[in-house]
Structure 1
């Protein structure tokens, strides 16, 4: 059987703050919550993807702050450039990468920092989400 990625698990300082952040900015919902020997655990997922991929958040533990040159992040696709700008505006207090354009496949993006210092990228036009079709059509037109 070929392996299938199902989750990423992270320790977080405050499970409630983490859930609130991912709900507000990423549209994720809690699909499972429990307490293991006094440690709270929550699974967060996109609507309709609850059985294919989740973020497992485990309360307790700390991680070192992310260095400014460290590009480690989670990526979320948005439906438009305007949506990227709106996330940057709403998440101003969390903003670490202001909106900018880079050559394909990076496209248009910004990033926020979650309550535990993880970077969360929001993009439009990458090959893994909305806007990829427009870029692919432009490439075909230029080559044809």
Structure 2
């Protein structure tokens, strides 16, 4: 059997704002929590994907200070351009929008980017050959 990617673990400076961000913007929910690192450690997943891929979020990390041209990010697919626009509007009001919605040639598609409370970049995209509706798109 080959290895399967199951999780990403993040140390963050302040746990609760990160939990709220990933719940509010990404639709993830806490599926497990336990004591650890002087606070608690949480596992978050998208509903229905709890056994496929999770974020493990732990306190005690340093804030990330990524450059504006650093495109390191977590990517979430959404089901329409309008959904990208709606997320960008909410993020702008919350002060965490870093990349306004934009179109890029295939396979990048239409996307926007946010900064989570720990400084990680998070992309929301439509039209990539990944995620909702991707079955009809070829992978280059």
Q: TM-score, normalised by structure 1?
A: 0.89
Once the two structures are superposed, residues 30-53 of structure 1 have per-residue CA deviations (whole angstroms, 9 ceiling, x without a partner) of 001111252421001000111111
After TM superposition, give the deviation of residue 69 of structure 1 in Å: 1.4
1:132, 1:10 → 2: CA distance? Answer: 28
Residues paired across the two proteins, number: 136
Match of 1:70 in 2: 70
Match of 1:18 in 2: 18
Once the two structures are superposed, residues 58-100 of structure 1 have per-residue CA deviations (whole angstroms, 9 ceiling, x without a partner) of 1112044011111100000001000000000011110000000
Match of 1:33 in 2: 33
Gapped regions of structure 2 (runs ≥ 5) = none
Match of 2:101 in 1: 99
- Decide whether aligned partners of structure 1 residues 90 and 37 sit closer, same or farther in structure 2, where only a CA change above 3 A counts: closer
After TM superposition, give the deviation of residue 129 of structure 1 in Å: 1.9
Match of 2:127 in 1: 125
2:123, 2:39 → 1: CA distance? Answer: 28
Larger of the two Rg values belongs to structure: 1
Please give the secondary structure, in 1, of the residue aligned with 2:25: helix
Match of 2:87 in 1: 87
- Decide whether aligned partners of structure 1 residues 39 and 122 sit closer, same or farther in structure 2, where only a CA change above 3 A counts: same
2:37, 2:63 → 1: CA distance? Answer: 22
